[in-house]
Amino acid sequence: MRKYETFFIVDPDLPDEVNSIVDEKLKSIVTSNGGEVLTYTPWGKKKLAYPVKKRTRGHYVLMEFAAGPELVAELERNMRLDERVLKFITVKLQDRFDPAKEEPPKPVPAPPFKEEGEEGEEEAEEASETFDEREEGMEEDLVTEGEEEDE
């Protein structure tokens, strides 16, 4: 068996009952094909970095599971066909994995997302100072190059 991590984004406009149906469907695909779901962590509704299928928000979910390589193809095929899943990615974490020997994994908390326009004032000031410093350094380089050519 191998250990995989699948990260997918579900349509945020769906009611909670439909979201739970999608969750159960994906978990059942893993278990019915000889895999084992290790963790299933919904991260909640977040703003997307760019529009996906005309949506600007999405319900993020992270799932870790142990399975064979043929199960990944079946899981991704089902996600591709399901219109409720906007986007997904699957990553192989370990080549050889034995769930019986593994200690129970800790759930991964959702990372803090900043909404648009929430950038801190300090970060903005630091960015502008860095730009100003670079600009001054470039002007000094130009002046020294011009002086060398005159001599």
pLDDT, one tens digit per residue, over 34-70 is 889 999 999 989 999 999 988 999 999 999 999 988 9
Residue 21 confidence class, pLDDT cut points 50, 70, 90:
very high
Q: Is the pLDDT of residue 120 over 50?
A: no
**Model pTM?**
0.65
Spatial neighbors of 26 by CB under 8 A, at least 6 apart, are 8, 63, 75, 78, 79
CA dihedral for 6, 7, 9, 14, sign (positive or negative): positive
How large is the average pLDDT for residues 118-147?
52
Q: Is the pLDDT of residue 139 over 60?
A: no
pLDDT at 98: 74
Residue 107 is which amino acid? Answer: P
pLDDT at 124: 46
* Dist CA 32 CA 86 (whole Å): 23
* Dist CA 27 CA 31 (whole Å): 6
pLDDT at 22: 92
